[in-house]
């Protein structure tokens, strides 16, 4: 059954084109989302969200090859699934009171220095290519293992390790440049 948002398209040529895309790519998009989410309902939601995005830019896809369309649609689904996965697994922090904290001012100073270093590192990560940045964030900030990252991004474990190594190398060079230029 076609989603309601495809049936609501006014232009019959666009509606037919959207219907063809849906029939041709829905399973591939669903499988991409399912590999990341491991949940049928969430994967169906991501599939619908992906097609909503596709329909919003339907005119951009008329002159694309099947391989280009598959790549674009899988990428959209992958990003939406990762976002949904992050939202679902977000850690909730509860507020603490002053009574809950025993302050050691030496530790506070260390914390401030670490926080500044973390902010510089995060800025450096943001300068990376999106593929490298995703892997660095998933591995270092979210604590995922190579195998889970590979599943989430639909790449091999070896590719995760290679991209992680390359990203660390780029970050190292970037941070050396920042500190040598006196921008600390």
Confidence of residue 28 (pLDDT cuts 50, 70, 90): very high
Walk me through the domains of the chain, giving residue ranges and CATH numbers: 4-88 (1.10.1740.10), 99-177 (1.10.10.10)
- The mean pLDDT value for 88-106 works out to 59
- Using only C-alpha atoms, what is the Rg of the chain? 22
Confidence of residue 10 (pLDDT cuts 50, 70, 90): confident
Q: What's residue 26's pLDDT?
A: 93
Q: What is the mean pLDDT of the chain?
A: 82
Q: What's residue 72's pLDDT?
A: 92
Q: What's residue 131's pLDDT?
A: 86
What Cα–Cα distance (Å) separates residue 158 from each residue in 36, 124, 161? 18, 24, 5
Residue 31 in this model has a pLDDT that exceeds 90: yes
Q: What's residue 102's pLDDT?
A: 56
Tell me how far apart the alpha carbons of residues 153 and 125 are, in angstroms, rounded to a whole number: 18
Tell me how far apart the alpha carbons of residues 162 and 109 are, in angstroms, rounded to a whole number: 36
Tell me how far apart the alpha carbons of residues 158 and 171 are, in angstroms, rounded to a whole number: 20
pTM > 0.85: no
Confidence of residue 181 (pLDDT cuts 50, 70, 90): low
- The mean pLDDT value for 35-52 works out to 92
Q: What's residue 184's pLDDT?
A: 47
Q: What's residue 25's pLDDT?
A: 93
Tell me how far apart the alpha carbons of residues 80 and 90 are, in angstroms, rounded to a whole number: 15
Q: Which has the closest alpha carbon to 78: 157, 131, 143, 22?
A: 131
Tokens of 104: 């050691």
């Amino acid at each position: 059954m076609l989603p309601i948002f495809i049936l609501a398209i006014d232009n019959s040529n666009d509606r037919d084109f959207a219907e063809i895309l849906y029939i041709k790519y829905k399973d591939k998009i669903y499988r991409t989302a399912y590999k990341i989410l491991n949940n049928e309902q969430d994967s169906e939601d991501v599939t619908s969200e992906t097609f909503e995005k596709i329909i919003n830019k339907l005119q951009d896809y008329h002159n694309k090859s099947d391989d280009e369309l598959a790549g674009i649609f899988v990428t959209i689904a992958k990003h939406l699934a990762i976002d949904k996965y992050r939202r679902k697994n977000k850690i909730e922090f509860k507020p603490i009171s002053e009574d809950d904290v025993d302050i050691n001012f030496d530790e506070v100073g260390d914390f401030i220095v670490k926080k500044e270093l973390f902010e510089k590192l995060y800025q450096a990560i943001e300068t990376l290519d999106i593929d490298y940045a995703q892997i660095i964030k998933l591995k270092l900030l979210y604590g995922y293992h190579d195998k889970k990252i590979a599943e989430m991004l639909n790449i091999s474990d070896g590719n995760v390790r290679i991209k992680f190594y390359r990203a660390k190398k780029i970050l190292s060079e970037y941070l050396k440049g920042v500190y040598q230029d006196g921008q600390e």
